[in-house]
């Protein structure tokens, strides 16, 4: 981020659409170690702050007739709660705090990443990969704990003809293990692509003749990105619910 | 982003950013694939998630849940109270209607009683008045009878006197007063 100025340095059209995703230390020029305070730290901390402001301070009055911030917090709560309940059923409701954590983190990170000069933590495969692997491992372990070997019934399509079942089982197993990959790349890819495209359009703005069109395109992309930010958080959360449902009720 | 971006300018950018050469080499492509930053991101992600989880599960979610439950309870209570009040209003209206009907019936009864009492008084008064009228009429008739009698007597006396006078004028001394009186009386009776 903050490297758009490089285009101006050599006068020509130089695009650095990916520079915004570079992880760099916030203080000093050192190496990026495991505990170095980086822009990742900053923007994740801001995510936490936003969530606390919205969900804790926003609801501090506990009003029967809610204020605006309390309404938003209640809407988020109701939205995710209903999603968990609808998809996983009554017995999935006890996992609601985990899914709410994932949803709020992704949603707020996505939206914070849309601020100019921001760093989008959810555009990194390291972040979304960990999120997806956490969901995958949790769901798999939960499935075996809850259902024992019966969890393997998820891969054995009992409604299919017997001859087809081994083939289907193979496909099911592959698709099961591809889940965390698609789950993480979908989110990171969406966030990265939108931001990169905005940067490319921004690079074109250096040419005076194209700049009005460029600004129009950036505006349009920005609107689309707002939509994508919300939708990707929703998609990640609802897929988590679907996987959770598979773990709780593995029968097809 | 292709390798040709890894040019002096990219190197300069990397220097400007304070990223050392190795990192710039990776981040000139996709910073997402710069594995040297993975441990850092993962550490901060896990810390962030744990913080968010504890904030949500300890403070935010129970609070919002209780607010929503409280609101639902309040609404239910208010609806129940409204139903209660409505029922009370219906009861009050029924009681009012009943009181009205009772009052009407009572009024009717009182009117009937009063009418009967008045009728009794009236009948008594009428009977009394009839009796009085009958008494007065009898008295009057008596008086009329007396007057008639006296008038008849007077007429008889006058007739006798006149007959005597006429007889004495026509045939003086021939016929006595007694026979004249008897004749007149007989004539008047006939």
Q: Is B34 on the interface with A (CB under 8 A)?
A: yes
Q: Is B76 on the interface with A (CB under 8 A)?
A: no
Alpha-carbon gap: A38 to the closest alpha carbon of chain B (Å): 8
**What pLDDT was estimated at residue B62?**
93
3-class secondary-structure state, position A38? strand
CB atoms within 10 A of CB A198: 22
* HEC readout, chain A: CCCCHHHHHCCCCCCCCCHHHCCCECCCCCCCCCCCCEHHHHHHHHHHHHHHHHHHHCCCCCCCCCCHHHHHHHHHHHHHHHHHHHHHCHHHHHHHHHHHHHHHHHHHHHHHHCCCCCCCHHHCHHHHHHHHHHHHHHHHHHHHHHHHHHHHHHCCCCCCCHHHHHHHHHHHHHHHHHHHHHHHHHHHHHHHHHHHHHHHHHHHCCCCCCHHHHHHHHHHHHHHHHHHHHHHHHHHHHHHHHHHHHHHCCCC
Of A176-180, B95-99, B147-151, B163-167, least confident by mean pLDDT is B163-167
Position B7 confidence tier, pLDDT thresholds 50, 70, 90: very low
Alpha-carbon gap: A226 to the closest alpha carbon of chain B (Å): 21
Q: What is the pLDDT along chain A (252 residues), one digit of tens a residue?
A: 444 444 444 456 677 788 888 888 888 777 888 888 888 999 999 999 999 999 999 888 888 888 899 999 999 999 999 999 999 988 889 999 999 999 999 999 999 999 988 899 999 999 999 999 999 999 999 999 988 888 888 888 888 888 888 899 999 999 999 999 999 999 999 999 999 898 888 888 888 888 889 889 999 999 999 999 999 999 999 999 999 998 998 875
Domain with A99 in it: 5-248
Residues of A in contact with B46 (CB under 8 A): 130
CB contact under 8 A, B55 and A55: yes
Contacts of A28 (CB under 8 A, 6+ apart): B18
CA distances (Å), B63 to each of A38, A40, B59, in order?
Answer: 33, 30, 6
Q: Which of B30, B52, B64 sits opposite A73 (nearest CB)?
A: B64
Q: Around B154, how many Cα atoms within 13 Å sit in the side-chain half-sphere?
A: 6
CB contact under 8 A, B40 and A121: no
CB contact under 8 A, A29 and B18: yes
Task: Give the total number of structural domains in chain A.
Answer: 1
Position B16 confidence tier, pLDDT thresholds 50, 70, 90: very low
Convert the pLDDT of each residue in B54-87 to its tens digit. Answer: 999 999 999 999 999 999 999 999 999 999 999 9
CA distance B135 to B29: 145
Q: Is B19 on the interface with A (CB under 8 A)?
A: yes
CB contact under 8 A, B45 and A131: yes
**What pLDDT was estimated at residue B190?**
65
CA distance A31 to B21: 11
Position B24 confidence tier, pLDDT thresholds 50, 70, 90: very low
Q: Is B9 on the interface with A (CB under 8 A)?
A: yes
Nearest CA in chain B to A122: B45
| ipTM of this complex prediction, to 2 decimal places | 0.87
């Amino acid at each position: 981020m903050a490297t758009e100025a490089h285009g101006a340095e050599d006068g020509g059209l130089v695009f650095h659409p990916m520079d915004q995703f570079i992880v760099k230390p916030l203080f000093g020029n050192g190496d990026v170690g495991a505990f170095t305070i980086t822009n990742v730290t900053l923007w994740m901390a801001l995510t936490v702050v936003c969530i606390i402001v919205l969900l804790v301070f926003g609801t501090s009055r506990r009003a029967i007739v809610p204020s605006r911030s309390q309404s938003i917090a209640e809407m988020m709560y109701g939205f995710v709660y209903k999603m968990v309940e609808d998809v996983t059923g009554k017995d999935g409701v006890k996992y609601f705090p985990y899914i709410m954590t994932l949803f709020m983190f992704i949603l707020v990170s996505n939206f914070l990443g849309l601020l100019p000069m921001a760093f989008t933590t959810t555009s990194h495969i390291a972040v979304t990969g960990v999120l997806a692997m956490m969901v995958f491992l949790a769901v798999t372990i939960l499935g075996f704990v809850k259902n024992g070997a019966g969890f393997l019934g998820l891969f054995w399509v009992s409604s299919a003809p017997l001859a087809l079942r081994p083939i289907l089982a193979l496909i099911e197993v592959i698709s099961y293990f591809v889940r965390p990959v698609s789950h993480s790349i979908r989110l990171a890819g969406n966030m990265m692509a939108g931001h990169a495209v905005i940067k490319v359009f921004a690079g074109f703005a250096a040419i005076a003749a194209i700049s009005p069109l460029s600004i129009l395109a950036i505006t349009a992309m920005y609107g689309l990105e707002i939509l994508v930010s919300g939708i990707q958080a929703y998609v990640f959360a609802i897929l988590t619910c679907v996987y959770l449902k598979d773990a709780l009720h593995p029968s097809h | 982003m292709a390798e040709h971006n890894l040019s002096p300018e990219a190197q300069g950018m990397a220097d400007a950013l304070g990223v050392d050469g190795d990192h710039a080499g990776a981040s000139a492509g996709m910073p997402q694939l710069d594995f040297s930053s993975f441990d850092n991101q993962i550490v901060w992600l896990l810390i962030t998630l744990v913080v968010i989880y504890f904030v949500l599960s300890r403070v935010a979610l129970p609070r919002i849940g209780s607010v929503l439950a409280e609101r639902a309870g309040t609404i239910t209570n208010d609806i129940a109270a409204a139903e209660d009040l409505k029922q009370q209003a219906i009861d009050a209206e029924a009681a009012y209607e009943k009181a009205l009907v009772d009052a009407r019936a009572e009024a009717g009864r009182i009117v009937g009683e009063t009418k009967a009492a008045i009728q009794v008084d009236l009948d008594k008064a009428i009977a009394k008045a009839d009796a009085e009228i009958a008494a007065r009429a009898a008295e009057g008739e008596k008086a009329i009878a007396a007057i008639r009698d006296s008038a008849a007597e007077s007429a008889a006396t006058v007739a006798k006197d006149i007959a005597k006078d006429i007889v004495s004028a026509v045939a003086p001394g021939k016929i006595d007063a007694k026979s004249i009186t008897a004749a007149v009386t007989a004539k008047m009776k006939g």
